[in-house]
Amino acid sequence: MEIKASDYVQSLDKGLRVLLVFSKEQRPLTLSEVAAQTQMSRAAARRFLLTFTHLGYMQTDGKRFSLTAKVLDLGYSYISSMDIIDIAKPYMLKLSQELNESCSIGEIQDTDIVYIVQEQVARVMTVSLKVGSRIPAHVTSMGRMILAMNEQMQEELLDKIDFTTYTSHTITDKDKLKAELAIIKIQGWAFVDEELEYGLRAISTPIFSKNGSVKYAMTIVSTTNRTGKEEMINRFLPAMQKTCQEISLALGMM
């Protein structure tokens, strides 16, 4: 993008050049080294270094300067401005191609799990859950995964749940559901087998946000006549855990 010379802030340009020097070198630098690499006078470089130190973005031992963890906030600001869809899509595509399975990410809204992003594999017979689909959270693997990792949300939602019986496998007792959520929290993944609809089973893994919370979960839904429970746990689960870890890293969690 071209801008007018009158709109260009030269001092900001110089300040960013100082930060980028540390990013490139990845070690503490002296005033002379910074001045030489940015082609600034020692006096100008010193002003920028002291300003960044005052603002908390740098620290000094009196001779050398180095970046502090506060500079990560600049990256987090960028990451938080990106939609989960933009971040997750490439990782989901890779997972979908590896397993030849559709995968989805959802979040809890009210008492439902809502599908917000999806990567589909073309099949003659597919599970008809699309982006925007809403399902009672407590009978889905994604919903249980998120609830298991959020105790306050869990308590609030369990009081609002209508424990409808969808199949003979549906958990319809609050205490039994809480016990299941406790197991999910310990093992780090959720599996639901024919509780919402006969013939459907699903497995989910958590996606961690910057502060370590779990707002989103990923799922693969399959049919009982196509995929066994053992295959979902032994083959799908490790790949899903790896993918969710990569997405969590991209979100700035790890």
What is the b/e burial string over 164-189, where b = at least 16 CB atoms within 10 angstroms of the residue's CB?
A: eeeeeebbeeeeebeebbeebbeeeb
Inter-residue contact 114 to 134 (CB < 8 Å):
yes
pTM of the model: 0.66
Query: Which tokens sit at 204?
Result: 């989910």
The beta strands (E) that lie in 26-102 are given as 29-30, 58-60, 64-67
Q: To 5 degrees, how large is the angle CA 49–CA 51–CA 56?
A: 95
Backbone φ/ψ region at 42: left (φ over 0), alpha (ψ -120 to 50), beta: alpha
Please check whether the domain covering 82-250 is classified as CATH 3.30.450.40. yes
Query: Which tokens sit at 148?
Result: 């298991």
Number of neighbouring beta carbons within 10 Å of residue 211: 8
- Look at residue 136 and give its three-state secondary structure: strand
Burial class (CB in 10 A: 0-12, 13-18, 19+), 124: exposed
CATH number of 5-76: 1.10.10.10
Residue boundaries of the structural domains of the chain: 5-76, 82-250
CA atoms lying within 13 Å on the CB side of residue 83: 6
Number of neighbouring beta carbons within 10 Å of residue 6: 5
Residue 24: per-residue pLDDT? 67
Query: Which tokens sit at 158?
Result: 């369990």
Burial class (CB in 10 A: 0-12, 13-18, 19+), 210: middle
Q: Would you write out the chain's pLDDT as a tens digit for each of its 254 residues?
A: 567 777 778 888 888 899 888 876 668 999 999 999 999 999 999 999 999 999 998 999 999 999 887 876 666 555 454 578 888 889 999 999 898 888 999 988 888 888 888 887 766 555 566 777 788 899 999 999 999 999 888 888 888 888 889 899 989 888 999 999 999 999 999 999 988 989 889 999 999 987 778 989 999 888 888 888 899 999 999 999 999 999 998 877 54
Q: Which residue from 100, 166, 99, 96 is spatially nearest to 138, judged by alpha carbons?
A: 166
- Rounded CA-CA distance 113/7 in Å is 47
Residue 75: per-residue pLDDT? 62
